[in-house]
Amino acid sequence: MKRRDFSKLISLFAGSFTVSSLLSLFNSNKAEAQLSGIVVLKCLGHLEGNRYLDGRTTSATVGLAPNAQGGYTGTKWAVEYVRPGVVSLKCLGHLDGNRYLDGITTEGTVRLAPTNGGWNTGTKWQVVNVGRDVISLKCLGHIDGNRWLDGRTGNATVGLAPSNGGGYTGTRWQVQVIAN
C-alpha cells in the first residue's frame, strides 16, 4: 500500500476512532493475558506506604494493605471477563459482604458493590497495558468524572484519578497471578 493510500485510510477511520481507542484495541490482548484468574494488585505509587489493593467486604470499602498474606484476604481478586479488554474484579475476602470493585466517577471514590450488573456501571474496568506485568484500570461507569484506579500509598487509600499519567503514579498496578 502506498503512503498516500494509507493516509487516506487512516483519515477515514479518524472520525470513528480515537488514538487511545485504537491503542487500547492493540494493547488489550497483551493486557488480558496479564490479568486473568486470581490476582493480587500491587500499587506502584512513588510514595512509601501500603501497596496491596484490599477489599473490605464487611464495610464495602477499599484501601491498601501492607501485604497480601495473613489476615489480608481481601487482597485476592477474581478476574471476571465482561468483554475483550474489560473486566470486573471480585474481592475474595473471607467475610460476607459486597465484593465487586466499583468506581464512583462523580465522587472520584472506590467501594465494593454487591453485584457487577444493573446500576453498578462502575464495576466494569478497561484493562490498559502500561508495561511488563503493569496495568492501569479505567473505570467505565456511565457518568463522567475521574476514572483511573489510583492507590494513594501515602495514606493507604484508593480513589479515582483524572488520568493515568503525570503525577498520578498510583494508577500503575503490578499484576501478580495467584491462580489461573
**Three cell numbers at 3?**
503512503
pLDDT at residue 35 in the model: 76
Distance from the Cα of residue 60 to its chain's centroid = 17
The rounded mean pLDDT for the chain is: 85
- Outline where DSSP puts E strands in 37-147: 38-43, 52-56, 61-65, 77-83, 86-91, 100-104, 109-113, 125-131, 134-139
- Give the model confidence (pLDDT) of 41-82 as tens digits: 999 999 999 999 999 999 999 999 999 998 999 999 999 999
DSSP code per residue over 128-173: EEEETTEEEEEE--SS-S--EEEEETTTTEEEEES-SSTT-GGG-E
Summarize the confidence of residues 86-97 as an average pLDDT. 97
Q: Quote the CA–CA distance of 166 and 147 in Å, as a whole number.
A: 15
pLDDT at residue 34 in the model: 59
Domains with residue ranges and CATH for the chain: 28-179 (2.80.10.50)
Q: Quote the CA–CA distance of 149 and 137 in Å, as a whole number.
A: 6
What is the reported pTM? 0.81
